[in-house]
Amino acid sequence: MSDANRSLRSRSLLGGIWTALQRIYGSLLSVVTLALLSRLVGAEDFGIVSLVSVFVGILALVGDLGFTPSLIRASAPSRVQINTAFWTGLAIGTALGAALALAAAPIAAFYDQPQLTLMIRVAALMLPLNALCAIPTVLLTRELKMRPLAIRSAVGASIGAVGAVILALLGAGAWALIFQGGGNILVDIAILWSAVSWRPRAEFSFREAWAMLRFGLPTLATQVVHEGRDRMVELVLGKLLGASALGYWVVATRVTSQLLTLFASVVNAVALPAFSKIRDDRARLQNAVRHAERVCASMAIPGLFAIAAVSPVAVPFLFGGQWATSGQIAQVTAVTGAITALQWLDGNLWWSLGRPGVEFGLVLTISVAHIAAVFFAAPYGLLAVAVALLARTILLAPLRVIALVKIGRMPLAIYRDIPGIALSAGVMLVAMVALSGVLPHQPALLYLVLEAVVGIAVYAGVGLLVQRAAFLELRTDVLHIVRRRAAA
């Protein structure tokens, strides 16, 4: 392997390690916080706050205008480009925050939830504040400097979690969840701005703004459709089944999303800048994509399969017996998440290749089918919705593979490690399900510990037999990083 290849992989893996450490901490903190809050806050409050986050989340994407991936992909963005992106993002974020505050009352009336009005208006403040975080995040991500980003996330999550639990203990209800989502924003701003030397200047270029917008609009459209697809599920469930049902869905899907965030997004955090740096070297790019697919799959598939095996017991044990419904839903959504995790890299690849339109077409097609499945299944209950979305995921998963091979000119060999990983995880899942039949009346904690021991042993044992090369290559990468750090 060339020095350039090894250097990029080392920087990417080191960035991934920092991201992984933050994700591990954040996921553990999130699970502990959710376990506490689920005993202090009702399902209806979770559903109401989910509705608030839908609008804030989508508008935050709109406010970026796709400038973030445009700047990350650029070979060397100029000072004028960076300043133009900053002032544009701040202006759009402020305007969208004001518009959302004005729309708060009609939204609350539509859902027949009067308390939504003030909550939405408070949450709308996040839009201009989030805009202040965008450029420092871009600059750090471009250089694969994930340490400050990891510290920012860990500190912010800790403040949000502690504050939310305190407010919940004081009887704040849904407001505790509102604080958890945005109470740390000022700390985020302080940490990010202290980690970069760049400071905004009073300069703006309409030509540069238009150039970034031309690239960013397809990317923005893709992100909005993708985010809107998931958020639309919550809007539909909140309207058709009510806030309480939405609360059960939110808790169930949060279990899955934490695993996805921990595993798949660790790779995704460094994929776009890494792919963008080598997009003109086809051989290196193909090797990097295959490596990223393998790392992502080897973490996400077994983790989510394990959740599918134990969630009917684990969710009530961790969050309380009143959330048993969420445990059944999580069993299905975890399998869906395992398939979805393999496709998270695709968007980064299309963006790095300068083909965001392809990703937009794929996301739009999949999203239409996704929403249609929700509308069809919602009258039959939450579990039916989860099953319908799993079916949609299985049926349409080949679309992305075909697109990468036919349009992206990626060889099928980038997936050659996936069968071994899937086999190892599948055998693990069978073993864990079989064990649950042998231990039907054990205490929940003992049951979960035994399931974890069996799952890890089976996955590692089968994995060493069928994917030994992948294990050895990962070991080589880690040792190379350790040696580089020791020599520095």
User: How high does pLDDT run on average in the chain?
Assistant: 81
pLDDT in tens, 48-63: 888 888 888 888 878 7
Question: Considering its fold, how many domains does the chain have in total?
Answer: 1
Q: What does the pLDDT read at residue 429? A: 92
Predicted confidence band of residue 476 (pLDDT cuts 50, 70, 90): low
Q: What does the pLDDT read at residue 430? A: 92
* Structure-token pair, residue 400: 């992305």
In this structure, of 84-98, 236-250, 266-280, 338-352, the range with the lowest mean pLDDT score is: 266-280
The percent helix, strand, coil of the chain (3-state, each to 5) is 85, 0, 15
Answer whether residue 226 shows pLDDT above 70.
yes
CA 316, CA 318: separation in Å to the nearest integer? 6
Decide which of 348 and 248 is more confident. Answer: 248
* Structure-token pair, residue 438: 């042998």
pLDDT in tens, 124-159: 998 999 888 888 888 887 776 767 777 777 888 888
Q: What does the pLDDT read at residue 329? A: 92
Packing angle, helices 264-277 and 344-352, rounded to 10: 10
Mean pLDDT, range 363-377, rounded to an integer: 90
Q: What does the pLDDT read at residue 386? A: 93
CA 464, CA 470: separation in Å to the nearest integer? 9
Answer whether residue 485 shows pLDDT above 50.
no
Predicted confidence band of residue 166 (pLDDT cuts 50, 70, 90): very high
Burial 171-182 (b: 16+ CB within 10 A, else e): ebbbbbbbbbbb
**3-class secondary-structure state, position 342:** coil
CA 286, CA 420: separation in Å to the nearest integer? 19
- In one-letter notation, the amino acid at residue 177 is L
Q: Which of 16-25, 59-68, 386-395 tops mean pLDDT?
A: 386-395
CA 206, CA 27: separation in Å to the nearest integer? 41
Burial 337-368 (b: 16+ CB within 10 A, else e): bbbbbbbbbbbbbbbbbeebebbbbbbeebbe
Contact 223, 66 (CB under 8 A): yes
**183 backbone dihedrals φ, ψ, rounded to 5°:** -70, -10
CA 417, CA 420: separation in Å to the nearest integer? 6
Q: Is the pTM of this model over 0.75?
A: no
Answer whether residue 103 shows pLDDT above 80.
yes
Q: What does the pLDDT read at residue 270? A: 60
Answer whether residue 24 shows pLDDT above 80.
no
Q: What does the pLDDT read at residue 60? A: 83
CA 12, CA 271: separation in Å to the nearest integer? 8
Answer positive or negative: Cα dihedral of 278, 282, 284, 285.
positive
pLDDT in tens, 405-464: 888 888 888 888 888 888 999 999 999 988 877 766 678 888 888 999 999 999 888 888
pLDDT in tens, 313-325: 888 888 888 888 8
* Structure-token pair, residue 12: 């990417």
Q: Using CA atoms of 199, 204, 207, 212 in order, give the dihedral in degrees to the nearest 10.
A: 40
Decide which of 15 and 427 is more confident. Answer: 427
Q: What percent of the chain has pLDDT over 70?
A: 86
CA 243, CA 113: separation in Å to the nearest integer? 9
Decide which of 38 and 12 is more confident. Answer: 38
**Domain range holding 97?**
3-487
